[in-house]
Amino acid sequence: MVRVPLTISERERGERLGSVLRRARGSRSIVDVATEAGISPETLRKIERGRIPTPAFFTVVAVADILGMSVDALLAEVAQVPDARHDGEQVVATLAR
């Protein structure tokens, strides 16, 4: 199966996701957060750097939970639009791929 290349907006959204998660992590170590979320530190590092622009939905939920963020708040920050519900649904659909 051939994977369709990501659009520029999908890559940019992945970079915003990584940036938001990185800011939320603050001074906590990447190893501690990743371990608590049940993922590898390398996976979290790649998400934060935007190298995994469409991570699995449940991975994002697990990391957000460890960081004390609601999924709604995370989506609103990543979407960066006044009506985050509409764009947030698109983000969820992209993350769920």
| Confidence (pLDDT) at 93 | 55
CA 17 to chain centre: 4
Q: Report residue 81's pLDDT band, with 50, 70 and 90 as the boundaries.
A: low
| Confidence (pLDDT) at 1 | 76
pTM of the model: 0.77
The mean pLDDT value for 14-34 works out to: 95
Q: How far is CA 88 from CA 30, 78, 97, in A?
A: 26, 8, 14
Domain boundaries in the chain? Answer: 8-95
The mean pLDDT value for 45-71 works out to: 94
Average pLDDT of the chain?
86
Long-range residue pairs from 2-11, CB within 8 A, at least 24 positions apart, any chain: 6/53, 6/54, 10/53, 10/54, 10/94, 11/50, 11/53
Q: If you count them, how many residues does the chain have?
A: 97
Name the CATH topology of 8-95.
Answer: 434 Repressor (Amino-terminal Domain) (1.10.260)
Is the CA virtual torsion 83, 80, 21, 95 positive or negative? Answer: positive
